[in-house]
Structure 1
Amino acid sequence: MRIIGGKLRGKTVNPPAGYKARPTTDFAREGLFNVLDNEYEFEDLKVLDLFGGTGAVAFEFASRGAARVWSVEMARENASFIKTEAKRLGLDNVTMVRDNVFDFLNVCHEKFDIVFADPPYALEGLETIPDKVFSADILHPGCYFILEHGGEHSFVDHPYFRKEKRYGRVHFSFFSKDED
């Protein structure tokens, strides 16, 4: 997989054979960041990447100039890979947090400009993730929570749902909550 844009555009990140995470495809990631490029200036953004997997999304945000990117990943091998690759790429703005995403949401006190989640598509309870993110109160008002998921899920009836973008079999649902 390759970094699509920013200072590291074209650099490759290659997980070892047998890696147990499914990376967001380059095609889908490029589509996602085309949408975000039209709505955000990446400099000064604080970003949270839940279910970090390969680190591809975190690295993309960092390459494009996000001030800080936190990547939360529970699997030891995946967390180690993300940390090693961030160092190899010189991404001092990426912080690896090895934790269960749901436990992390219960203790996180930071506020973010973008929260991205790419859970395993077969994760039991995937449909509850938007509510858990908004209950944790970790997003600045009007900012996006973006959930990557397969076509078997639809979030159009969620009160904070704003739009969905599809790239092949990959769906991104965008949510935001205005100030109360």
Structure 2
Amino acid sequence: MRIISGTYKGKRLTAPKNLPVRPTTDFAKEALFNILRHRIDFHNSSLLDLFAGTGNISYEFASRGTEDITAVDMHYGCVKYINSIAEELSFQISTVKADVKKYLNSKHRSFDVVFADPPYAFTPEDLQKMVEKIFNNDLLNSEGIVIIEHTKHTDLSHVVNFKEARRYGGSVFSFFEI
């Protein structure tokens, strides 16, 4: 994987092979950030990265100037890897080792961007519940955006606060706003 833009543009990162992850492809990630650069101010935004995996999305935000990033993943190896890269590149990323479903059940602060890349095995019902918990637990600031990455075989257009979906290869980004 590589960082697409920002301070560390072109930086290649190699995650340990034993991590249970499916990183967002560079193609899909570049398309996502082309959309986001017109919607958010990276320097003044906060990010909650759910199912953070290798930290791929967190690094993109950090490289673009975001200093308020929380990455949540339940796998110890993923959290350890994110911490090591954050230290190496002096990124301001706070990690939380937790099951995302349990994390969403408790009250936390709100963020400008909530990004979630759950396992593709999540059912549409699981994804809908996750989006509802994000909104019901006030994890999103009033002008914020929720982005869910999921398989092209899942349609979330019926979920509350859905705005649009963009497909890139086998991946889809669904966007939700208040």
User: Where on the TM-score scale, by shorter chain, does this alignment land: which range?
Assistant: over 0.9
Residue number in structure 2 paired with 1:69 = 69
Supply the distance in 1 between the matched residues of 2:86 and 2:60 (Cα, whole angstroms). Answer: 11
Work out whether residues 119 and 149 of structure 1, in 8 Å CA contact, stay in contact via their aligned partners in 2: yes
CA distance in 1, matches of 2:70, 2:6: 18
> Structure 1: how far apart are the matches of 2:23 and 2:12?
13
Moved over 6 A (4+): none
Q: Is the 8 A contact 2:132 2:160 kept in 1?
A: no
Matched, 1:83 2:87: no
Q: What is the aligned-residue RMSD (CA, Å)?
A: 1.2
**Aligned twin of 1:122:** 121
Moved more, 163-172 or 126-135: 126-135
Aligned equivalents of 2:139, 2:55: Cα separation in 1 = 20
- Per the alignment, residue 45 of structure 2 pairs with 45
Aligned to 1:163: 164
Q: Which whole-Å CA distance do the structure 1 matches of 2:107 and 2:8 have between them?
A: 29
Identity of aligned residues (%): 40
User: Does the CA-based 8 Å contact 1:150-1:169 persist in structure 2?
Assistant: yes
Structure 1 residue 40 displacement after superposition: 1.1
Q: Once the 2 structures are TM-superposed, how far is the Cα of residue 144 of structure 1 from its aligned partner?
A: 0.4
Taking structure 2 as the reference length, the TM-score comes to 0.94
Instruction: Compute the TM-score of the two structures, normalised by the length of structure 1.
Output: 0.93
Question: Which residue matches 2:111?
Answer: 112
| Correspondence for 1:142 | 143
Cα pair 1:42 1:61 within 8 Å, conserved: yes
Give the equivalent residue in structure 2 for 1:95.
94
- SS at structure 2 position matched to 1:33: helix
Unaligned residue ranges in structure 1 (runs of 5+): none
CA distance in 1 between partners of 2:170 and 2:6 (Å):
26
Q: Give the C-alpha shift of residue 128 in structure 1.
A: 2.1
CA-to-aligned-CA distance 1:41-99 (integer Å, 9 cap, x gap):
111211100000110001101111112110000011111111111111221x1111111
Deviates more, 1:97-106 or 1:50-59: 97-106
CA distance in 1, matches of 2:107, 2:68: 15
